[in-house]
Structure 1
C-alpha cells in the first residue's frame, strides 16, 4: 500500500477504492488507517467491522455480532437476513464502528433502499453523520429506491436472491428489476465522475465506453 502509489501505473495524487457489500467495511478501514487513499466508493456496505476482529498495530476493532433471531422468511420462503445485523450505533455495538473521521479520503456512499442483505441506507446515513459530527464534508450520499443489494456495472443481471456464503443458504437480496437496472446505470456514471474528480489530477485517463 505504501509503495503502490509510487508505481508508474498510478497517476496520483492517490489511489481509489471501489467496494461493495462486505468489502465496504474493509474499504473504510483502509481509508481510515492507511495513507495514500484519495477516494473511496462504498456500495451497500457496512460502517462497522464485520465477520472477524480487525487488527491494526495496537488497535483491535471487534466485529459486530448478528442477531440470528431477527432472521425471517420472505413470502416465497427464502431467508430474509436484512435485520440480522444490529444497529452499529447502539450500546454494545459502537466499538465495532470504523473511525472514518481519521481519513482524509473523499467518500461516495451509495445505498439501495430495498437492500435485503442488511440496512445499507442506515449504515450510509450513520457514516455520513459521523463525518459531519467531526466537522468534515468530504462525502456524498446517494440512495436508490427499489434497488437491491448487488449494484454492479450496467447490464449485469438483477440478482433478487442467491446463495450467501456466510449464511450457507439462499437469501433475499431485494430490488425490482427495472429500478435496479436504472440504479446501476446512474451509479456507474457517478462512480466514474467521482474517481475522475478526485484521482485524475492530469485528466489524461481514457474515457470509459461501457
Structure 2
C-alpha cells in the first residue's frame, strides 16, 4: 500500500479551522518525519517539521500520536501549522490578499534523518474568506476600509476591526470574522493611501464615521456595534466604546487603558498620549528593540490625563493580554484598566495568557517573536513562547466570538463552515 497523507475532514478549509492530519500505509513502528511548508505572498518560505513513529497498524494520527522532537514535541494536532518558522529571521506570516488561500504542503519522509526519501504528500488549502462572503472596498467620505459581508440577508452582528501602529489596511482577521457570521469593517487609520504614517493627531470623528457607516448597512443588526483592536488599535477601541454611543461591546488585545502615542481629538476635548521616554528603550545583542520600559509609570498621577475614561461607558469590555509581551507591558496596563472598571461596578471580562506575546492573532498563525515595525522601520521584540502562544490564540479567538455573539446578538456562537 502506498503511503497516503490526508487532511480531515477536508483538505480545503478556513485558516482558523482545526484539522486532523493522518498518514496511512506505513510499516508498523516505522520512523518518519513530517514537514509542513508554506510560501507566503512575498516569497518567504516558512517550514516546520516533527519526528514520529507509526503505530502497530502503520498509521499516524497527529491528534493522537506524540511528536518525538523537531519543531515541537508531544501530541499537538496543529503543531505543524503553529510552529511554522521563516527561513529568514524576523519574518511575520500575515495574509495580504484574502481572496487567495495559504497552501500548506504536508510531506512525509523516511526516518529521522536528512529527509531525503519522500514517502507521500498532500496540500492543505487554508482560506481567509468563507464561501459566499463578499469583500467590498469602502472609500466613502474620509473612510479607508474594506467591508466583509456574510452570505444571506442577516441581520448579523456588526464589527469594526482595528490593527496597530504599523498602519495599513489589514483584512485577514476581518475576513475570518465575516466567515464566522459577523459583518466586519476592516478600518485603516494611519499609514495607508493618503493617511499619514505618523499622524500628528487622530480624530474621533473619523471613527464615528465608521460606526455610522456600519449602522446604515441593512444586514447589520440594530442593537449596537462591536469593535476590536490590537495594540494601538486596542486603546482606540476603548475610546470608541467610551465616547461613541453606537458601540455596545469592545475587545482590547494587547492594549492599554491609556491613549497611546498619538493625541486623540474629540468634540471639545483632546486626550494626550501616554508620556514616554525613548531613551529607556533597550536594544539587545541581535539589534532588536524592546519598548517595554519607555512609557512613564501609569500609577503616576501626572499620566492620568491620558487615561481613557472608560467608566463613563455603557459598553461591555473584554481584555486579552499576554504575560510575555515584550513590546510593552500590556498585561500590566490591562489589569489597571480592568481594576478601574471594576471599581465603578462595570461588567468586564479579562484573560491573561502565560507565555503569550504581543501579537495575539487568529489561531494557527505562527508566533512572531520579532519583526520589522512598518512605520518605525526598526526590528522590534513582540515576545511569546511557541506552544503557549498558540494555545492562547485558540482560546482568545473563541472568547472574542462568544463575547460579541453574547453582547450583540444575545446568543451563543452558531456553527458555520466554508
Same fold (TM over 0.5): yes
Contact 1:115–1:147, Cα closer than 8 Å, also in 2: yes
Cα distance change of structure 1 residues 155 and 38 upon mapping to structure 2, 3 Å threshold: same
Higher-helix-fraction structure: 1
Is 1:207 aligned to residue 393 of structure 2? no
The question of 1:116 aligning with 2:326 is answered yes
1:157 matched to which residue of 2?
A: 366
CA contact (8 A) 2:406 2:412 kept: no
Using CA pairs under 8 Å that are at least 6 residues apart, name the structure with larger relative contact order, 1 or 2.
Answer: 1
Q: Report the counterpart of residue 218 of structure 2 in structure 1.
A: 8
Matched, 1:92 2:268: no
Gaps of 5+ in 1: none
For the pair 1:28 / 2:223, whether they are aligned, the reply is no
How much does 1:205 deviate? 7.5
Alignment of 1:127 with 2:347, yes or no, is: no
- Residue 131 of structure 1 and its aligned partner are, at CA, apart by 0.9
Larger mean CA deviation between 69-78 and 17-26 belongs to: 69-78
Query: Which of 396, 403, 406 is matched with 1:187 structurally?
Result: 396
Aligned residues: 208
How far residue 198 of structure 1 moved from its aligned partner, in angstroms, is: 0.7
For residues 162 and 108 of structure 1, what CA distance do their matches in structure 2 show? Answer: 27
Displacement of 1:135 after TM fit? 2.4
Structure 1 residue 166, shift from structure 2 partner: 4.6
User: In the alignment, which residue of structure 1 is the partner of 2:281?
Assistant: 71
TM-score (norm 1): 0.91
2:346 counterpart of 1:145? no
- SS of the aligned residue for 1:12 comes to strand
- Residues 402 and 413, structure 2, Cα contact 8 Å, conserved in 1: no
Deviations 1:119-172 (A, max 9, x none): 001111111111122222x11110001111100000112110011245431011
Task: After superposing the two structures, state which structure 1 stretch, 38-47 or 163-172, moved more.
Answer: 163-172
TM-score scaled to structure 2, two decimals? 0.47
**Structure 2: any 5+ residue segments left out of the alignment?**
1-210
Deviations 1:81-111 (A, max 9, x none): 1111223331321110100011111100001
Q: Equivalents in 2 of 1:155, 1:17: separation in Å?
A: 22
User: 1:46: Cα distance to partner?
Assistant: 1.7
Q: Which stretch shifts more, 123-132 or 105-114? A: 123-132
